[in-house]
Structure 1
Amino acid sequence: MSHALSSQGTSVADRIRALVAADEVQLPPLPEVAIRVQELLGGDGGSLRELGELLSQDPAIVASLMRLANSASYGGLGRIENLNAAVQRIGLREVGSIVTGMSLKSHFKQGNGEKVGILETLWDHSVTTGFAARQIARRMGERAEMAFLAGLLHDCGKVLVLMAVDHLEARGMEVTLTRSALDELMTELHAELGHTVLTDWGLPEEVADVALNHPVFEQGGDDLLLAVQAANLITRKLGYHLDPDPELDVLDQPVIDELGLDDVTVATMMIDMEDHLEEMRGLF
């Protein structure tokens, strides 16, 4: 029997779609701290004091932000010693995106067996893609905080696919899924399911749209989508990916041309990212 079929002749992909549509399988809600940060920074945005008061209730997040503010990627003149100074250095809205990302790490620990390793690699890929997209957006004069969030969450649908497979296996699914079959399922479903998750969480529509549209490059895409697509290629070449490809010629990809980035700029960015991505991964 093909790995794609159940004993009833229904494809595994369709069974997963049905489970998600019926809310039988779903990612946990957006953590409360992330919801409150998004609300605070929505509209005209909150103040530094308000954000500091909110974040100070979570010592783990405070410690991570302090490490981030003093990292090579964010470091300025002098060492940061308090939360308000850390938020000022990183930026209010970028802190909002980063805190949302930090609060979601537990969502990438939902699997069993082989899926645990897949999720760990997926988390590393998500974090590094977020930071790579941030770097690209900054080069382009675009919103770095939105690029980070979109890059971080672009593959979240894969987490839901793995959870759904666990659910089906627990119910006695009569099909054994190989690793290649899991990869096929994630490839087929992750964009549509990711869009559903991010929409349900109430995150910005443009972030959900990146999750939906990032697998396929099309000319004329918006800069946020292009930044994440380019970041995805870079992290794949650098090894932070479920399907790494160190031989990938990033400079020859159409998304790079669409962004208007010349070879020297891309090469410089990749060297900079290679220096800092491992540090960023460690901070999460």
Structure 2
Amino acid sequence: MAQHDSKEFFIKPEDYRKALNSEEDFFIQFQQFTQNVDSQIIKIIHRFLEHYDMLFHKDTIISIIKELINNAIKANLKRLYFESAGLNINDSSSYRQGMETFKDEVFQSHESKIITSLQGSKYMVRVSFSSKNESLSISVINNNPILESEMNKIKSRVTKAYKYQDISEAFIDVLDDSEGAGLGLIMALMLLKNSGFPQNVFTISRNDTLTSVNLCIPYNVMTPDIHFKVTEEILKEIEDIPALPDNIKEIRMLIKDPESAIKEIAKSISRDPGLTASIMKLANSAGYVTMKRLETIDEAVKIIGIKGINTLLIATGVQKVVETRYKRYESVWNDSYKRAFYAQLITKRINESSKLGDQVYLSALLADIGKIVMLSLKSEVIDTIKKINGFKGMLDSTLIEEISLGISHSSLGALICKKWNFNESLIKTIELHHRPHRAEDEYRNLIYTVYLADIMVEIENNKFRFELADEEVLDFFKLNDKKKFEEYHLSLKEIYSTKKNF
């Protein structure tokens, strides 16, 4: 089997990212759930869900898989304990005898020989990943068969978890003093339920040598009729989004005309005081990189250039749509301005500022336009889905919307940009700014730049961490060393802060 760069685990095929891109199955195998294994599991699940545009399920899936891994490790420790004590785990009286001391001797002991001896023993845990039949499959497998009585206990807990209304009910009902394993599984299953998944996505099976617990994540958890209604609702909202204002379209047409003089363009913009004020506000905002404060539209056109003015026209037009139709969600723009500013500076790191500058600004600024529209969908259909699914304890409103709709905000943003007839590079960047590994060669620099700017903003919002960053993107920018990444991120923050107070 292919050896990865750690003795604590191995992955097969070794390059799981390549396997994922070619739709091949892959797995990670280990004996102890160390910190390195934990980090690798999180990274793999993140990439796996990211690939299929299902990152909105990440927290739920990670919590459940980690609980299943802990249970598999515990099952292996139990086998080792019974073997070391000379007890037959399949004999009911020996089982009762062993379980009376198992928990204290293995988990309460300061230096448990059983835990130490697990590494190098015959017992393994394997987490496998595959995609088939319109669903993603993650299986946690350990190489010892679960007992019939334990199997029945787990199946009972699965059923109960889908009936509980509150976790306090589980405390009373399923605490298991001998193993202490019941409550964690119940909580994981309740999280699954509260994320809208039906009970049948969780299955457990065994044979003479293995126990396998499988999580089957459908691409869409909704029934076909509800999915049709939701799709209809999304399309209706997109259709109802206003087009960019006529005055902006007219000036953009003037910009496209190679015969147009800079003075003529500036004069045309100046005829609309509101538009002039909006462009000047954006040009001098913290989100746009300029060397000095601009005072007039003539100066702005000369210094920013035709491409820059065209970019600001689009940004101004989109902002006007948001202000009129989605005013409640203007706060999302604060992160957008910062992301756009970071992205412009990042282009200089790869000597692409002249080529990507204006395009990267617009792509980064509009990356979350789908989030704004998504949060505005408040129809009876969407509200009904939320009530059916529950979503108890979930505070991230964007996450709830994404799970409800079965579409990510980035995919929705791409649909909106198509409606506005934006160019393909802008559409692709918005669609893939959370999935940079799927970028085609011609858009790679643009998508990688927006992705890097976005994760920096997300890190500042405590919604992301360096360890989950796409390794190919970090390699591309020569930022795969955490210290270098943090130093560079800090330098961008300081420049932005200076600009913001300018």
Match of 2:346 in 1: 136
Q: Give the root-mean-square deviation of aligned CA atoms.
A: 3.8
Distance 1:55 1:104 in 2: 17
Pairing of 1:208-219 with structure 2 (within 5 A): 208-218=427-437
Are 1:154 and 2:367 matched, yes or no?
yes
Match of 1:202 in 2: 421
Normalising by structure 1, we get a TM-score of: 0.74
Query: Alignment partner for residue 236 of structure 1, among 452, 458, 468?
Result: 458
Normalising by structure 2, we get a TM-score of: 0.45
Distance 1:251 1:189 in 2: 19
- Listed as ranges, the gaps of 5+ residues in structure 1 are none
Alignment check: 8 A CA contact 2:375 2:397 kept: no
Alignment check: 8 A CA contact 2:238 2:416 kept: no
Distance 1:147 1:93 in 2: 12
Shift of the alpha carbon at 1:159?
2.2
Pairing of 1:87-126 with structure 2 (within 5 A): 87-109=301-323, 110-111=325-326, 116=328, 119-126=329-336
Deviates more, 1:192-201 or 1:253-262: 253-262
Q: Looking at both structures, which has the greater relative contact order when contacts are Cα pairs under 8 Å and sequence separation is at least 6?
A: 1
Deviates more, 1:33-42 or 1:126-135: 33-42
Are 1:49 and 2:263 matched, yes or no?
yes
Distance 2:413 2:501 in 1: 25
More strand by share: 2
Match of 1:249 in 2: 466
Deviations along 1:214-256, one digit per CA (max 9) or x if unpaired, are 22130765111111101101112233xxxx44x7338965222
Amino acid paired to 1:88: K
Pairing of 1:14-33 with structure 2 (within 5 A): 15-22=229-236, 26-33=240-247
Alignment check: 8 A CA contact 1:137 1:227 kept: yes
Alignment check: 8 A CA contact 2:326 2:373 kept: no
Amino acid paired to 2:305: G
Distance verdict in 2 for CA 1:220–1:55, change over 3 Å: same
Distance verdict in 2 for CA 1:200–1:280, change over 3 Å: farther
Are 1:225 and 2:447 matched, yes or no?
yes
Shift of the alpha carbon at 1:45?
8.2
Alignment check: 8 A CA contact 1:69 1:75 kept: no
SS at match of 1:91: helix
Amino acid paired to 1:123: W
Amino acid paired to 1:277: Y
Alignment check: 8 A CA contact 2:349 2:477 kept: no
Match of 1:186 in 2: 402
Greater Rg by CA: 2
Alignment check: 8 A CA contact 2:343 2:449 kept: yes
Distance 1:49 1:268 in 2: 43
**Identical columns (%):** 19
Distance verdict in 2 for CA 1:29–1:238, change over 3 Å: same
Shift of the alpha carbon at 1:193?
1.9
Amino acid paired to 2:338: T
Distance 1:12 1:250 in 2: 37
Distance 2:488 2:274 in 1: 30
Amino acid paired to 1:192: S
Deviates more, 1:255-264 or 1:144-153: 255-264
SS at match of 2:291: coil
Amino acid paired to 1:183: L
